[in-house]
Structure 1
Amino acid sequence: MNYVNQRAAGHLAFTSKGRSAGKGVLIMDACSVTALGIKQVLVESCGIDDEISVVQNLAGISSRIDGAPPALLIMDICGEDELMLDGLRLLVHLREAHPAMKVVICTDFSDYRVLELLVSSKANGILLKHEPALALTQCITRGLTGNRQWLSPKVQQLLAKTAPKNTALTARELDVLACLFSGQSVSSAAQTLHRDIRTVSTHKRNAMMKLGFHNDSELFAQGTWMAKIGPAPGF
């Protein structure tokens, strides 16, 4: 990926070979108060004076980005009544479709397994909402000016307690998991996804291996966090 960061603050514009430059910032959070706080940090602490738009759910991200992707997307992993799995699936799509766009995850999900998946999504920065505003400022000023992924101190602390895993799930594996956690069987998922049942079974098996689950009982008993519903309605 060949991108150009014209300025870390002020005007944001990133370009990628064969793609037009994105402009502005898009914030996605179910809580309007949280979104306002993020916007305030961007303007007052990061000096960003581009247009800043706000949406409250994953669907809002898709509708905005399909028209004109921003230079920077700051998002929670899911909105009200949305599944975390849906957010992970969207992240995979965004990294493939808009590689020049910078993505920062700001979330309340602090489970190390969730954080491992977010790290593997190749988001440019990851932090938790309850961290000081300085964490977001550092994420913007440091995470967007280099190639390395920026993790907040709290995220690093939570991940340091676990052994690193190669947990990167493919879009197809996430699609299969989303079907299974919605109550579908493997055969029903195959029909929904218009795939051969053997292909779906392979995606399921590969996803379980990456996540450390050995059988269906473990998948559904210990993997319920993957289908967790998003936060309460915003103000």
Structure 2
Amino acid sequence: MEKHVRNQCIAVIEGCTMTAVGLRHLLTCAQEESRSFHYFRSIADFKLALQQTAFDAVICCLSGTREVRIECLFTMGKIACRYPDMTRIILANDEAEVALIKHLSPTYIHGVLSKSIILSDLQRSMLELLSEAALGNKCTEASSIQIECRSLSPTESMILRYMTYGYSLMEISQRLGRSIKTIRAHKFNAMTKLGVSSDAGLLSAADLLVSLPDRNNDFRRSLSLA
């Protein structure tokens, strides 16, 4: 039996005014009877609307601001638990951030796209993801996202978590009872595995890790002992 596309109510979260204007323009052609878009400047505004509106999909744009980025990723994890049928799409800042999210996200994300790609390609990819979701299909592009952080060792993961809280390598070595040379070696290995070549890229990965809701218990207990 042929599948029919159902009506979709889609939330778009973008804090940057200029980017939000660009997204509105990009999605105008998709504003049709079977699809409506609702734009929000913040996660808080979206959460308020969520109390009254049943959204079928959410498109969350990652900000360059660390706090906002962490809040967005953490919220996407919460949505996966509380609203498993809601399609979740993340717009990352560049291809490197896309790769990190695909490596580190423990929950299924229907699509992770880069805002830096050609606009026509970004538009086509977003609409394809929404169309697949409306048909009740899981996107094949997202199948590689549930990797369960397989490439990082527990120690490497712990070091990245400490980094996002502002600990220096010397402080991390003291807390973990390892030599600074060992900590530097783990840091280098993590950078190699994640495909990043700078501390900024590694900090982005650390931000991703600390935003994940289901792997923080041991780490938070260790912080409470400080």
TM-score (norm 1): 0.54
Q: Is 2:18 aligned against 1:28?
A: no
CA positional deviation for 1:74: 1.0
2:141 to 151, 174, 180: 151
Render the CA deviation track for 1:130-173: whole Å, top value 9, x for unaligned: 23222222222234423322539xxx9xx8xxxx943289xxxx
Task: Name the CA shift for 1:183/1:136 in 2 (closer, same or farther; >3 Å).
Answer: same
- The structure 1 residue matched to 2:89, chosen from 95, 104, 116, is 104
User: Offset of 1:101 from its aligned partner?
Assistant: 1.3
Tell me, yes or no, if structure 1 residue 115 matches structure 2 residue 101.
yes
Query: How far 1:214 sits from its partner (Å)?
Result: 7.5
What RMSD in Å do the two structures reach over aligned CA positions? 4.4
Q: Write the distance in 2 (CA, Å) between the matches of 1:82 and 1:26.
A: 21
Asked if the contact 2:105–2:148 (Cα under 8 Å) also holds between the matched residues in 1, the reply is no
Q: Which of the residues 132, 151, 174 maps onto 1:142? A: 132
What is the one-letter code of the residue matched to 1:63? L
Distance in 2 between residues matched to 1:102 and 1:57, nearest whole Å: 18
SS at match of 1:146: coil
Q: Which runs of 5 or more structure 2 residues have no equivalent in the other structure? A: 169-175, 177-183, 192-198, 209-226
The reply on whether 1:39 has 2:24 as its aligned counterpart is: yes
**Alignment partner, residue 148 of structure 2:** 166
Cα 1:149–1:143, aligned 2, differ >3 Å: closer, same or farther?
same
8 Å CA contact 2:106, 2:147 repeated in 1: no
Residue 166 of structure 2 is matched in structure 1 by 183
Query: Counterparts of 1:172-211 in structure 2 under 5 Å?
Result: 181-183=164-166
Structure number with greater Rg is 2
More helix by share: 2
One-letter code aligned to 2:81: E
- Counterpart code for 1:147: N
Which secondary structure does the structure 2 equivalent of 1:226 belong to?
helix
Cα displacement (A) at 1:178: 6.1
Give 3-state SS (helix, strand or coil) of 1:166's partner.
Answer: coil
User: Which ranges in structure 1 are unaligned for 5 or more consecutive residues?
Assistant: 1-5, 13-23, 186-200, 202-212, 230-235
Tell me, in whole angstroms, the C-alpha distance in 2 between the residues paired with 1:85 and 1:29: 14
Distance 1:27 1:62 in 2: 12
Query: Aligned letter for 2:138?
Result: R
* Among candidates 182, 193, 205, match of residue 226 of structure 1: 205
Structure 1 residues 140 and 77: CA distance shift in structure 2, 3 A: same
Shift of 1:110: 1.7
SS in 2 for 1:82: helix
CA 1:77 to 1:57, structure 2 compared with 1: closer, same or farther past 3 Å?
A: same
Q: Which residue identity does 2:148 align to in structure 1?
A: N
Percent identity, aligned pairs only, is 14
The count of aligned residue pairs is 175
In terms of mean alpha carbon deviation, does 68-77 or 214-223 score higher?
214-223
How far the C-alpha of 1:225 sits from its partner, in A, is 1.8
1:19-67 deviations in whole A, cap 9, x for unaligned?
xxxxx22101123343334334444236356553212333333333244
SS at match of 1:53: strand
Give, as a single letter, the amino acid of the residue that structure 2 aligns with 1:167: C
